[in-house]
Structure 1
Amino acid sequence: MEASFWQRKWEAGDIGFHQSEANPFLVEHFEKLNVAKGGRVFLPLCGKTRDLAWLLNCGHRVVGAELSELAINELFNDLGVKPKISRVGKLTHYSAKDIDIFVGDIFDVSAEVLGPVDAVYDRAALVAMPENRRHQYTSHLMEITHAAPQLLISYEYNQQLMDGPPFSVGEAEVKHHYASAYQLNSVESREITGGLKGKVAAIERIWLLQKF
Protein backbone atom coordinates (compact mmCIF):
# COMPACT_ATOMS: atom_id res chain seq x y z
CA MET A 1 0.00 0.00 0.00
CA GLU A 2 1.14 3.56 -0.59
CA ALA A 3 2.13 5.64 2.45
CA SER A 4 -0.84 7.94 1.82
CA PHE A 5 -3.25 4.98 2.21
CA TRP A 6 -2.13 4.39 5.82
CA GLN A 7 -1.90 8.10 6.63
CA ARG A 8 -5.54 8.52 5.57
CA LYS A 9 -6.54 5.51 7.70
CA TRP A 10 -5.02 7.05 10.83
CA GLU A 11 -6.31 10.56 10.14
CA ALA A 12 -9.85 9.22 9.62
CA GLY A 13 -9.67 7.00 12.71
CA ASP A 14 -10.29 4.01 10.42
CA ILE A 15 -8.14 1.68 12.52
CA GLY A 16 -10.14 -1.51 12.84
CA PHE A 17 -6.78 -3.28 12.87
CA HIS A 18 -5.97 -1.68 16.24
CA GLN A 19 -6.67 -3.88 19.26
CA SER A 20 -7.51 -2.42 22.67
CA GLU A 21 -5.65 -5.16 24.54
CA ALA A 22 -2.50 -7.21 24.01
CA ASN A 23 -2.91 -9.92 21.40
CA PRO A 24 -3.75 -13.26 23.07
CA PHE A 25 -1.30 -15.07 20.80
CA LEU A 26 1.50 -12.81 22.01
CA VAL A 27 0.61 -13.35 25.67
CA GLU A 28 0.37 -17.11 25.20
CA HIS A 29 3.45 -17.73 23.09
CA PHE A 30 6.00 -14.94 23.62
CA GLU A 31 8.01 -17.05 26.07
CA LYS A 32 8.84 -19.43 23.20
CA LEU A 33 11.25 -16.78 21.88
CA ASN A 34 13.36 -17.19 25.04
CA VAL A 35 14.00 -13.45 25.36
CA ALA A 36 15.73 -12.63 28.63
CA LYS A 37 14.27 -9.84 30.77
CA GLY A 38 15.63 -6.59 29.42
CA GLY A 39 15.86 -8.03 25.92
CA ARG A 40 15.02 -5.77 22.99
CA VAL A 41 12.00 -6.66 20.83
CA PHE A 42 11.30 -5.13 17.41
CA LEU A 43 7.71 -4.45 16.32
CA PRO A 44 7.57 -3.50 12.61
CA LEU A 45 4.62 -1.27 11.63
CA CYS A 46 3.69 -1.09 15.30
CA GLY A 47 0.99 1.59 15.20
CA LYS A 48 -0.14 2.35 18.75
CA THR A 49 -0.45 -1.32 19.65
CA ARG A 50 -1.12 -2.34 23.25
CA ASP A 51 1.29 -5.21 22.64
CA LEU A 52 4.10 -2.73 23.16
CA ALA A 53 2.86 -1.81 26.65
CA TRP A 54 2.52 -5.51 27.49
CA LEU A 55 6.14 -6.15 26.50
CA LEU A 56 7.30 -3.18 28.57
CA ASN A 57 5.35 -4.45 31.57
CA CYS A 58 7.10 -7.81 31.17
CA GLY A 59 10.43 -6.04 31.62
CA HIS A 60 11.57 -5.92 28.00
CA ARG A 61 12.82 -3.05 25.88
CA VAL A 62 10.93 -2.28 22.67
CA VAL A 63 11.77 -0.74 19.34
CA GLY A 64 9.21 -0.03 16.66
CA ALA A 65 8.87 1.31 13.15
CA GLU A 66 5.71 3.10 12.07
CA LEU A 67 4.68 5.32 9.17
CA SER A 68 2.12 7.43 11.02
CA GLU A 69 3.36 10.11 13.39
CA LEU A 70 -0.23 10.52 14.61
CA ALA A 71 -0.23 6.88 15.74
CA ILE A 72 3.02 7.30 17.66
CA ASN A 73 1.87 10.48 19.39
CA GLU A 74 -1.23 8.56 20.50
CA LEU A 75 0.96 5.64 21.60
CA PHE A 76 3.03 7.83 23.92
CA ASN A 77 -0.09 9.57 25.19
CA ASP A 78 -1.58 6.15 26.04
CA LEU A 79 1.63 5.20 27.84
CA GLY A 80 1.66 8.49 29.75
CA VAL A 81 5.23 9.10 28.62
CA LYS A 82 6.75 12.20 27.03
CA PRO A 83 9.27 11.17 24.35
CA LYS A 84 12.43 12.85 23.19
CA ILE A 85 12.17 13.57 19.48
CA SER A 86 15.07 13.80 17.04
CA ARG A 87 15.84 13.26 13.36
CA VAL A 88 17.80 10.26 12.09
CA GLY A 89 18.22 10.61 8.34
CA LYS A 90 14.76 10.40 6.79
CA LEU A 91 13.25 9.12 10.05
CA THR A 92 11.94 10.76 13.20
CA HIS A 93 13.18 9.06 16.35
CA TYR A 94 10.87 9.03 19.37
CA SER A 95 12.63 7.74 22.48
CA ALA A 96 11.96 7.24 26.18
CA LYS A 97 13.07 4.78 28.82
CA ASP A 98 13.20 1.33 27.18
CA ILE A 99 11.41 2.63 24.03
CA ASP A 100 12.68 3.61 20.58
CA ILE A 101 10.22 4.27 17.77
CA PHE A 102 11.31 5.27 14.26
CA VAL A 103 8.62 7.13 12.32
CA GLY A 104 8.86 6.90 8.55
CA ASP A 105 9.22 4.29 5.84
CA ILE A 106 10.38 0.97 7.29
CA PHE A 107 12.64 0.54 4.26
CA ASP A 108 14.60 3.56 5.49
CA VAL A 109 15.35 1.74 8.77
CA SER A 110 18.84 0.24 8.56
CA ALA A 111 20.51 -2.24 10.88
CA GLU A 112 22.68 0.60 12.20
CA VAL A 113 19.68 2.80 12.97
CA LEU A 114 17.69 -0.04 14.48
CA GLY A 115 20.45 -1.33 16.71
CA PRO A 116 20.63 -4.86 18.13
CA VAL A 117 17.37 -6.74 18.67
CA ASP A 118 16.81 -10.04 20.42
CA ALA A 119 13.49 -10.90 18.76
CA VAL A 120 10.89 -9.70 16.27
CA TYR A 121 7.14 -9.64 16.82
CA ASP A 122 5.29 -9.12 13.54
CA ARG A 123 1.58 -8.82 14.22
CA ALA A 124 0.56 -6.46 11.45
CA ALA A 125 3.43 -5.84 9.04
CA LEU A 126 3.73 -8.79 6.66
CA VAL A 127 -0.05 -9.04 6.33
CA ALA A 128 -0.23 -5.30 5.58
CA MET A 129 2.07 -5.64 2.57
CA PRO A 130 0.57 -6.28 -0.88
CA GLU A 131 1.92 -9.38 -2.56
CA ASN A 132 4.40 -7.50 -4.73
CA ARG A 133 6.09 -5.94 -1.67
CA ARG A 134 6.31 -8.94 0.65
CA HIS A 135 9.60 -10.33 -0.64
CA GLN A 136 11.21 -6.90 -0.32
CA TYR A 137 9.82 -6.57 3.20
CA THR A 138 10.87 -10.01 4.47
CA SER A 139 14.37 -9.68 3.00
CA HIS A 140 14.74 -6.24 4.55
CA LEU A 141 13.47 -7.43 7.93
CA MET A 142 15.94 -10.31 8.04
CA GLU A 143 18.77 -7.99 6.99
CA ILE A 144 18.19 -5.28 9.60
CA THR A 145 17.53 -7.74 12.47
CA HIS A 146 20.19 -10.28 11.46
CA ALA A 147 17.38 -12.85 11.23
CA ALA A 148 16.47 -12.55 14.91
CA PRO A 149 13.93 -15.14 16.12
CA GLN A 150 10.39 -14.08 15.37
CA LEU A 151 6.75 -14.48 16.26
CA LEU A 152 4.65 -13.85 13.17
CA ILE A 153 0.87 -13.57 12.99
CA SER A 154 -0.78 -14.31 9.64
CA TYR A 155 -4.29 -14.58 8.25
CA GLU A 156 -5.63 -17.15 5.81
CA TYR A 157 -8.82 -16.56 3.86
CA ASN A 158 -10.18 -16.49 0.32
CA GLN A 159 -8.59 -13.32 -1.04
CA GLN A 160 -11.15 -13.24 -3.87
CA LEU A 161 -13.91 -12.58 -1.34
CA MET A 162 -12.29 -9.54 0.28
CA ASP A 163 -9.48 -7.13 -0.48
CA GLY A 164 -6.76 -6.66 2.10
CA PRO A 165 -5.21 -5.37 4.17
CA PRO A 166 -4.79 -7.50 6.11
CA PHE A 167 -3.92 -9.79 3.25
CA SER A 168 -4.12 -13.56 3.24
CA VAL A 169 -0.63 -15.04 3.69
CA GLY A 170 -0.74 -18.83 3.77
CA GLU A 171 1.72 -21.48 4.88
CA ALA A 172 3.34 -21.88 1.48
CA GLU A 173 4.08 -18.17 1.22
CA VAL A 174 5.44 -17.91 4.78
CA LYS A 175 7.81 -20.78 3.98
CA HIS A 176 8.74 -19.20 0.65
CA HIS A 177 9.90 -16.04 2.39
CA TYR A 178 11.50 -17.47 5.51
CA ALA A 179 12.39 -21.17 5.18
CA SER A 180 15.93 -20.44 3.96
CA ALA A 181 16.83 -18.68 7.21
CA TYR A 182 14.50 -20.14 9.83
CA GLN A 183 13.00 -23.30 11.20
CA LEU A 184 9.27 -22.57 11.04
CA ASN A 185 6.67 -23.91 13.42
CA SER A 186 2.94 -23.12 13.31
CA VAL A 187 2.26 -23.08 17.05
CA GLU A 188 -1.46 -22.23 17.09
CA SER A 189 -4.31 -21.28 14.78
CA ARG A 190 -7.94 -20.37 15.30
CA GLU A 191 -10.97 -19.37 13.32
CA ILE A 192 -11.82 -15.71 13.69
CA THR A 193 -15.21 -15.42 15.35
CA GLY A 194 -17.62 -13.66 13.02
CA GLY A 195 -15.07 -13.65 10.22
CA LEU A 196 -12.32 -11.20 9.35
CA LYS A 197 -13.76 -7.68 9.50
CA GLY A 198 -17.08 -9.47 9.85
CA LYS A 199 -16.95 -10.25 6.13
CA VAL A 200 -15.14 -13.49 5.37
CA ALA A 201 -14.29 -16.76 7.12
CA ALA A 202 -10.65 -16.64 8.14
CA ILE A 203 -8.00 -18.34 10.22
CA GLU A 204 -5.51 -16.43 12.35
CA ARG A 205 -2.22 -18.28 12.79
CA ILE A 206 0.92 -17.64 14.83
CA TRP A 207 4.30 -18.82 13.63
CA LEU A 208 7.51 -19.29 15.58
CA LEU A 209 10.57 -18.60 13.45
CA GLN A 210 13.89 -19.73 14.90
CA LYS A 211 17.30 -19.68 13.24
CA PHE A 212 18.83 -23.02 12.35
Structure 2
Amino acid sequence: MSDQWRKRWQEGRIGFHLQQAHPALLRHWASLGIANRTKVLVPLCGKSLDMRWLADEGHPVLGIEFAPEAVEQFLAQRSTAVSRYRQAGFTISRQGNVELWCGDFFHLHIQQAAEIGAFYDRASLIALPPATRQRYAFHLAQLVPPGAKGLLISLSHPDGSAGPPYSVPKSEIENLFTPNFTLTFLDEGSPDERGRTESVWALERRGPRL
Protein backbone atom coordinates (compact mmCIF):
# COMPACT_ATOMS: atom_id res chain seq x y z
CA MET A 1 0.00 0.00 0.00
CA SER A 2 2.81 2.42 0.89
CA ASP A 3 4.55 1.71 -2.43
CA GLN A 4 1.31 2.46 -4.25
CA TRP A 5 0.98 5.87 -2.60
CA ARG A 6 4.63 6.69 -3.10
CA LYS A 7 4.22 6.05 -6.83
CA ARG A 8 1.17 8.32 -6.98
CA TRP A 9 3.17 11.18 -5.46
CA GLN A 10 6.11 10.56 -7.75
CA GLU A 11 3.84 10.61 -10.80
CA GLY A 12 1.79 13.58 -9.58
CA ARG A 13 -1.45 11.57 -9.44
CA ILE A 14 -2.82 13.43 -6.44
CA GLY A 15 -6.31 14.46 -7.47
CA PHE A 16 -7.30 14.18 -3.82
CA HIS A 17 -5.20 17.26 -2.96
CA LEU A 18 -7.22 20.46 -2.52
CA GLN A 19 -5.85 23.92 -3.30
CA GLN A 20 -7.51 25.33 -0.20
CA ALA A 21 -8.55 24.20 3.26
CA HIS A 22 -11.44 21.73 3.21
CA PRO A 23 -14.84 23.46 3.59
CA ALA A 24 -15.95 20.93 6.23
CA LEU A 25 -12.93 21.78 8.36
CA LEU A 26 -13.80 25.47 8.26
CA ARG A 27 -17.45 24.71 8.92
CA HIS A 28 -17.14 22.31 11.84
CA TRP A 29 -13.81 22.63 13.64
CA ALA A 30 -14.94 25.39 16.00
CA SER A 31 -17.97 23.34 17.05
CA LEU A 32 -15.68 20.68 18.53
CA GLY A 33 -14.66 23.09 21.28
CA ILE A 34 -10.97 22.20 21.09
CA ALA A 35 -8.87 24.54 23.20
CA ASN A 36 -6.39 26.87 21.54
CA ARG A 37 -2.81 25.53 21.48
CA THR A 38 -4.03 21.91 21.55
CA LYS A 39 -1.69 19.83 19.40
CA VAL A 40 -3.46 18.19 16.45
CA LEU A 41 -2.46 14.86 14.92
CA VAL A 42 -3.03 14.64 11.14
CA PRO A 43 -2.39 11.06 9.92
CA LEU A 44 -1.47 10.42 6.26
CA CYS A 45 -1.40 14.18 5.82
CA GLY A 46 0.05 14.56 2.30
CA LYS A 47 0.69 18.25 1.65
CA SER A 48 -2.76 19.26 2.86
CA LEU A 49 -3.38 22.97 3.32
CA ASP A 50 -5.68 21.97 6.16
CA MET A 51 -2.53 21.81 8.28
CA ARG A 52 -1.73 25.45 7.48
CA TRP A 53 -5.25 26.41 8.48
CA LEU A 54 -5.03 24.55 11.78
CA ALA A 55 -1.65 26.10 12.52
CA ASP A 56 -2.96 29.58 11.69
CA GLU A 57 -5.80 28.91 14.14
CA GLY A 58 -3.18 28.48 16.86
CA HIS A 59 -2.75 24.71 16.93
CA PRO A 60 0.62 22.98 16.82
CA VAL A 61 0.27 20.33 14.10
CA LEU A 62 1.88 16.89 13.89
CA GLY A 63 1.45 15.48 10.39
CA ILE A 64 2.44 11.91 9.53
CA GLU A 65 3.22 11.13 5.89
CA PHE A 66 4.95 8.22 4.17
CA ALA A 67 5.92 9.96 0.91
CA PRO A 68 8.88 12.35 1.22
CA GLU A 69 7.70 14.02 -2.00
CA ALA A 70 4.54 15.19 -0.19
CA VAL A 71 6.57 16.53 2.73
CA GLU A 72 8.93 18.51 0.50
CA GLN A 73 6.07 19.94 -1.56
CA PHE A 74 4.33 21.10 1.61
CA LEU A 75 7.47 22.79 2.93
CA ALA A 76 8.09 24.48 -0.44
CA GLN A 77 4.75 26.29 -0.20
CA ARG A 78 6.36 28.82 2.12
CA SER A 79 9.85 30.30 2.38
CA THR A 80 9.89 29.95 6.19
CA ALA A 81 12.97 28.24 7.62
CA VAL A 82 12.82 24.47 8.14
CA SER A 83 14.61 22.50 10.86
CA ARG A 84 15.20 18.79 10.30
CA TYR A 85 16.16 15.86 12.49
CA ARG A 86 15.55 12.12 12.88
CA GLN A 87 13.82 10.19 15.64
CA ALA A 88 12.91 6.50 15.97
CA GLY A 89 12.70 5.78 12.25
CA PHE A 90 11.07 9.09 11.25
CA THR A 91 12.60 11.99 9.35
CA ILE A 92 11.11 15.08 10.98
CA SER A 93 10.79 18.53 9.43
CA ARG A 94 9.55 21.48 11.46
CA GLN A 95 8.31 24.66 9.80
CA GLY A 96 6.66 27.19 12.04
CA ASN A 97 3.85 25.52 13.98
CA VAL A 98 3.86 22.38 11.79
CA GLU A 99 5.92 19.22 12.33
CA LEU A 100 5.94 16.68 9.50
CA TRP A 101 7.05 13.17 10.42
CA CYS A 102 7.99 11.20 7.31
CA GLY A 103 7.50 7.51 7.96
CA ASP A 104 4.93 4.81 8.69
CA PHE A 105 1.94 5.99 10.74
CA PHE A 106 1.66 2.54 12.29
CA HIS A 107 5.18 2.90 13.70
CA LEU A 108 4.24 6.02 15.68
CA HIS A 109 4.18 5.18 19.39
CA ILE A 110 2.25 6.63 22.31
CA GLN A 111 5.44 8.14 23.74
CA GLN A 112 5.98 10.12 20.53
CA ALA A 113 2.38 11.35 20.56
CA ALA A 114 2.39 12.35 24.24
CA GLU A 115 1.40 15.97 23.55
CA ILE A 116 -1.43 15.14 21.13
CA GLY A 117 -4.84 16.39 22.28
CA ALA A 118 -6.88 16.39 19.05
CA PHE A 119 -6.86 14.85 15.59
CA TYR A 120 -8.03 15.47 12.04
CA ASP A 121 -8.61 12.88 9.30
CA ARG A 122 -9.65 14.20 5.93
CA ALA A 123 -8.48 11.37 3.67
CA SER A 124 -6.62 8.81 5.77
CA LEU A 125 -9.33 6.22 6.34
CA ILE A 126 -10.47 6.24 2.72
CA ALA A 127 -6.88 5.74 1.54
CA LEU A 128 -6.69 2.36 3.25
CA PRO A 129 -7.98 -1.05 2.10
CA PRO A 130 -10.55 -2.78 4.36
CA ALA A 131 -8.18 -4.90 6.45
CA THR A 132 -5.95 -1.92 7.21
CA ARG A 133 -8.84 0.34 8.22
CA GLN A 134 -9.47 -1.77 11.33
CA ARG A 135 -5.81 -1.47 12.25
CA TYR A 136 -5.92 2.29 11.64
CA ALA A 137 -8.92 2.86 13.93
CA PHE A 138 -7.29 0.84 16.71
CA HIS A 139 -3.92 2.59 16.36
CA LEU A 140 -5.53 6.03 16.40
CA ALA A 141 -7.32 5.07 19.62
CA GLN A 142 -3.99 4.08 21.14
CA LEU A 143 -2.35 7.38 20.24
CA VAL A 144 -4.89 9.87 21.58
CA PRO A 145 -5.88 10.33 25.26
CA PRO A 146 -9.39 10.04 26.70
CA GLY A 147 -11.35 13.18 25.91
CA ALA A 148 -9.38 13.96 22.75
CA LYS A 149 -11.67 15.21 19.99
CA GLY A 150 -11.31 15.04 16.26
CA LEU A 151 -12.93 15.57 12.90
CA LEU A 152 -13.28 12.76 10.35
CA ILE A 153 -14.20 13.38 6.72
CA SER A 154 -15.02 10.13 4.93
CA LEU A 155 -16.27 9.17 1.48
CA SER A 156 -18.67 6.65 0.01
CA HIS A 157 -19.11 5.86 -3.67
CA PRO A 158 -20.84 3.29 -5.89
CA ASP A 159 -17.65 1.67 -7.19
CA GLY A 160 -17.64 -1.14 -4.63
CA SER A 161 -14.16 -2.09 -3.51
CA ALA A 162 -12.41 0.16 -6.05
CA GLY A 163 -9.95 2.64 -4.67
CA PRO A 164 -8.20 4.57 -3.41
CA PRO A 165 -10.13 6.52 -2.43
CA TYR A 166 -12.08 3.59 -1.04
CA SER A 167 -15.77 3.72 -0.24
CA VAL A 168 -16.31 3.69 3.53
CA PRO A 169 -20.05 3.78 4.36
CA LYS A 170 -21.52 5.13 7.58
CA SER A 171 -22.10 1.65 8.97
CA GLU A 172 -18.40 0.79 8.65
CA ILE A 173 -17.33 4.04 10.31
CA GLU A 174 -19.59 3.23 13.24
CA ASN A 175 -18.24 -0.33 13.48
CA LEU A 176 -14.63 0.83 13.30
CA PHE A 177 -14.73 3.63 15.84
CA THR A 178 -17.57 2.92 18.27
CA PRO A 179 -15.45 0.58 20.44
CA ASN A 180 -13.19 3.47 21.47
CA PHE A 181 -14.86 6.71 20.41
CA THR A 182 -18.13 8.54 20.78
CA LEU A 183 -19.30 9.41 17.28
CA THR A 184 -21.51 12.27 16.17
CA PHE A 185 -22.63 12.48 12.53
CA LEU A 186 -22.37 16.14 11.49
CA ASP A 187 -23.36 16.38 7.84
CA GLU A 188 -23.18 14.88 4.38
CA GLY A 189 -22.43 16.50 1.06
CA SER A 190 -24.24 16.07 -2.23
CA PRO A 191 -22.91 13.38 -4.58
CA ASP A 192 -20.38 14.64 -7.12
CA GLU A 193 -20.43 13.74 -10.83
CA ARG A 194 -18.97 10.31 -10.01
CA GLY A 195 -21.49 9.57 -7.28
CA ARG A 196 -19.01 10.13 -4.45
CA THR A 197 -20.49 11.50 -1.24
CA GLU A 198 -18.53 12.92 1.70
CA SER A 199 -19.68 12.50 5.27
CA VAL A 200 -18.39 14.45 8.25
CA TRP A 201 -18.09 13.12 11.80
CA ALA A 202 -17.04 14.39 15.20
CA LEU A 203 -15.20 11.84 17.34
CA GLU A 204 -14.26 11.87 21.02
CA ARG A 205 -11.96 9.27 22.60
CA ARG A 206 -13.71 7.33 25.35
CA GLY A 207 -12.28 5.57 28.38
CA PRO A 208 -8.68 4.78 29.25
CA ARG A 209 -5.91 4.23 26.74
CA LEU A 210 -5.83 0.68 25.39
TM-score range with shorter-chain normalisation?
A: over 0.9
The Cα offsets for residues 113-157 of structure 1, whole Å up to 9 and x where unpaired, read as: 223212110001111010011111110111012352121011112
Distance 2:13 2:200 in 1: 25
Match in the other structure for 1:198: none
The Cα offsets for residues 133-190 of structure 1, whole Å up to 9 and x where unpaired, read as: 1111110111012352121011112233x71111111111111111122221110101
- The residue matched to 2:29 in structure 1 has which SS? helix
Percent identity, aligned pairs only, is: 29
- The residue matched to 1:79 in structure 2 has which SS? coil
Q: 1:38·1:60 contact (CA, 8 Å) conserved in 2?
A: yes
Distance 2:204 2:120 in 1: 12
Task: Give, in angstroms, the shift of residue 106 of structure 1.
Answer: 0.6
Match in the other structure for 2:72: 73
Task: Give, in angstroms, the shift of residue 81 of structure 1.
Answer: 2.3
Match in the other structure for 1:202: 196
Q: 1:76·1:82 contact (CA, 8 Å) conserved in 2?
A: no
Distance 2:26 2:79 in 1: 22
Match in the other structure for 1:36: 35
75-84 or 170-179, which moves further after superposition? 75-84
- The residue matched to 1:81 in structure 2 has which SS? coil
Distance 2:131 2:81 in 1: 37
Q: 1:53·1:79 contact (CA, 8 Å) conserved in 2?
A: no
Which runs of 5 or more residues in structure 2 are unaligned? none
Distance 2:96 2:80 in 1: 9
Distance 2:184 2:203 in 1: 7
Distance 2:118 2:88 in 1: 24
Distance 1:66 1:46 in 2: 6
Match in the other structure for 2:92: 93
Large movers: runs of 4+ above 2 Å: 79-82
Q: 1:33·1:119 contact (CA, 8 Å) conserved in 2?
A: no
Distance 1:57 1:202 in 2: 30
The aligned runs of 1:141-180 (5 Å cut-off) are: 141-146=140-145, 148-160=148-160, 163-180=162-179
Match in the other structure for 2:2: 3
Task: Give, in angstroms, the shift of residue 72 of structure 1.
Answer: 0.7
Distance 1:69 1:81 in 2: 18
Distance 1:71 1:186 in 2: 30
35-44 or 23-32, which moves further after superposition? 35-44
The Cα offsets for residues 87-128 of structure 1, whole Å up to 9 and x where unpaired, read as: 112111112332211101111111212232121100011110
Q: State the one-letter code of the partner of 1:95.
A: R
- Aligned positions, number: 205
Match in the other structure for 1:140: 139
Distance 1:183 1:114 in 2: 21
Aligned alpha-carbon RMSD (Å):
1.4
Which runs of 5 or more residues in structure 1 are unaligned? 196-200
- TM-score when normalising by structure 1: 0.91
